Amino acid sequence: MNKAELVEVVAKNTCTKKEAQTAVEAVLDAIRGSLKKQEPVAISGFGTFKVKQTKARQGRNPKTGETIQIPAKKKIAFRASKELKAIL
């Protein structure tokens, strides 16, 4: 499911397509804002999004075999709730 399909489902179940688009955008903006501030986002019955920090490490260029330095970075992690796992 992509964003447009999500808007369609929300509109079908609740309101007009324009209102659904606004609601979906608001939810996504709130999640983005919290993650930008390094705050976890927990959605009951769905899961938790949080920012994790990876350490700098050495890697290898598969083409040349040369050792390279991979810098530390932040990544987004998602942990599904028990309810979501039970569905799958």
Over residues 13-44, the pLDDT tens digits come to 888 888 899 999 999 999 999 999 999 999 99
Residue 69 has pLDDT above 90, yes or no: yes
The pTM assigned to this predicted structure is: 0.75
CB atoms within 10 A of CB 20: 19
Q: Cβ(48)–Cβ(40) under 8 Å?
A: yes
Bridge-partner residues for 58, per DSSP?
A: 69
| Mean per-residue pLDDT, 68-81 | 95
Q: What's the pLDDT at 80?
A: 95
pLDDT averaged over every residue in the chain: 92
Domains observed in the chain: 3-87 (4.10.520.10)
